[in-house]
Amino acid sequence: MRRFVLLTMVTALVLPTLLLPAAAHAQGTQQATGSPALEISTPFPAKVIGIGEELTLDLNLRGNGSSKIVNLQMQDVPANWNVSFRGNGRMVNSVFVLPNEAAEVDLRIEPPADVQSGTYNFTVLADDGNGSRASLPLQMTVQDRLPPKLAIESERPTLRGEPGNALRFDVSLRNEGDTDMTVDLNAQAPGGFTVTFQSGGQDVTNLPISGGATERVTVVAEPRDDVQAGSYPFSITARSDAAEANIPLTAELVGRANLVFTTPDARLSGQATLGSDNNFKLTVRNDGTAPVRDISLNASAPTGWTTTFDPPTITELGPGQQLEVNANVRPADQAVAGDYVLNFSARPAEGTTRTMDFRVTAVTSTWWGIVGVVLIAVAIGVVGMAVMRFGRR
């Protein structure tokens, strides 16, 4: 009887232990056809990050049967790594899982700053406290990042031009690193040059370049009009927080002659007496950077007018030189008084001919006016003689 009691007690004790796993197994097998009692998943279980980056993984928890509270844990976390579960932005330790509904939680992994590159394995454990468990192995590869680096190059680093005309250098800037950067552009320009940078037709002083991308920049070097001919090297520096690059460019200026034809006081009008020589002073000046040679002076005047220049030609006029020329205008004797337009021109052997419209007021000599006065005097004289001759008492 005692043996039976013992047996029943043992059976009563053992049976549940024997039965329970069987029941659990039965439950598990029952769910194997649909879904396990607790499941944890993430879309990308193996991720690659760079040194210094953090990682956030989306975890999905799904259970069936009854709703349950699931505790979350991490296994195999290396030292100094910070790992936390977050729900709605807050750190959480457990998740309430409704049956057949996915619960979402974020896993945030923060490697230490001095992390070594390599592959790290973690496991996420989910446990509802009632025997349902699930685990999710995760793999994280920490990679060395590319160092920030800038490259700058130009296909045509030397350009040739005239003073006053802008030289446009095409320069390409390449960000050889992975990280985006903002690049400041600077130029060490020689005196007399104004250097600006253009991107997309707009003047810029800095521009953002994303990692691995190339930007084209136009360097506009504008020499002043009076810059002497010669070769002008200068360099362009592109600088960001972490990287710097520069490129030497050369502007070669050729000389240009710029003839200016005017009068000393810039007045383009004058008075000329008919039938006599009238002198007008003209100036020929070279405002350019190269000498002008063999300037011949000409005038187109109305018929019967003579115009001579002293000197008639100028052999050479250096840069910045000025020469005064006398123009002798003799209007035709039978010309009618009034305003006329004379065209003076200075024609250099090479280059543009400069012309000047000169307005001449042709005036009659006042000498003939005296004749009229004499006529009146004669008339008065006649009266006087008549008074002398015919005056009576």
Partner 1 sequence: MALATETLRPARVREGSPWTGLWAVVAKDMADHLTSTRMRILELLIVLTAVGTVFAATENLRDTVGQDRFLFLRLFTTGQEPLPAFIGFLSFLVPLLAIGLAFDAINGEFNRRTMSRVLAQPIYRDALLLGKFLAGLFTLSLVLTAIWLLIIGMGILRLGVPPGGEEVGRLLFFLLATIFYGGIWLGVALLCSTVFRQTATAALTALAVWLFFIIFWGMLANLAARTLAPVQLGTPQEIIAQVETSQALARLSPNTLYVEATIGLLNPSTRSFGLVLPTQLQGALLGAPLPLDQSLILIWPQLTALIAITILLFALSYVIFQRQEIRA
C-beta of 91 vs 380, nearer to partner 1: 380
Least distance from partner 1 to the Cβ atom of residue 216, Å:
56
C-beta of 114 vs 333, nearer to partner 1: 333
| 260's tokens | 């200016």
Site size toward partner 1 (CB under 8 A) is 38
C-beta of 12 vs 375, nearer to partner 1: 375
| Listed ranges 49-57, 89-97, 168-176, 369-377: which one lies at the site for partner 1 (CB under 8 A) | 369-377
| Listed ranges 17-25, 139-147, 209-217, 372-380: which one lies at the site for partner 1 (CB under 8 A) | 372-380
Rg (CA), the chain: 51
C-beta of 66 vs 361, nearer to partner 1: 361
DSSP type of residue 42: -
Contact between residue 234 and residue 190 where contact means Cβ atoms under 8 Å apart = yes
C-beta of 36 vs 270, nearer to partner 1: 270
Least distance from partner 1 to the Cβ atom of residue 278, Å:
15
Least distance from partner 1 to the Cβ atom of residue 355, Å:
14
* Distance of alpha carbon 137 from alpha carbon 59, whole angstroms: 12
Q: b/e map of 244-271 (b: 16 or more CB within 10 Å)?
A: ebebebbbebeebbbbebbbeeeebebe
Residue from 109, 301, 327, 346 binding partner 1 (CB under 8 A): 301
Tell which positions 65-84 bind partner 1, by CB under 8 A.
none
DSSP type of residue 144: P
* Distance of alpha carbon 242 from alpha carbon 275, whole angstroms: 83
Under the criterion CB under 8 A, does residue 369 sit at the interface with partner 1?
yes
Least distance from partner 1 to the Cβ atom of residue 369, Å:
5
Residue from 200, 233, 264, 304 binding partner 1 (CB under 8 A): 304
C-beta of 147 vs 304, nearer to partner 1: 304
Find the farthest-apart pair of alpha carbons in the chain and give their distance in angstroms, rounded. 206
Least distance from partner 1 to the Cβ atom of residue 356, Å:
14
* Distance of alpha carbon 321 from alpha carbon 292, whole angstroms: 10
| CB-based contacts of 90-97 (< 8 A; 24+ apart in sequence) | 94/69, 94/70, 95/61, 95/69, 95/70, 96/67, 96/68, 96/69, 96/70, 97/38, 97/61, 97/62, 97/63, 97/67, 97/68, 97/69, 97/70, 97/128
193-199 and 214-223: which strand pairing?
Answer: antiparallel
C-beta of 276 vs 361, nearer to partner 1: 361
Site string for partner 1, 329-368 (x = CB under 8 A): ---x-xxxxxxxxx----------------x-x-xx-x-x
Least distance from partner 1 to the Cβ atom of residue 173, Å:
60
C-beta of 23 vs 337, nearer to partner 1: 337
Those residues with Cβ within 8 angstroms of residue 145's Cβ, 6 or more apart along the chain or in another chain? 50, 51, 52, 178, 179
Tell me the residue ranges of DSSP E strands in 116-166.
118-127, 133-143, 150-154, 158-161
List contacts with partner 1 (CB under 8 A). Answer: 300-305, 332, 334-342, 359, 361, 363-364, 366, 368-369, 372-373, 375-376, 378-380, 382-383, 386-387, 390-393
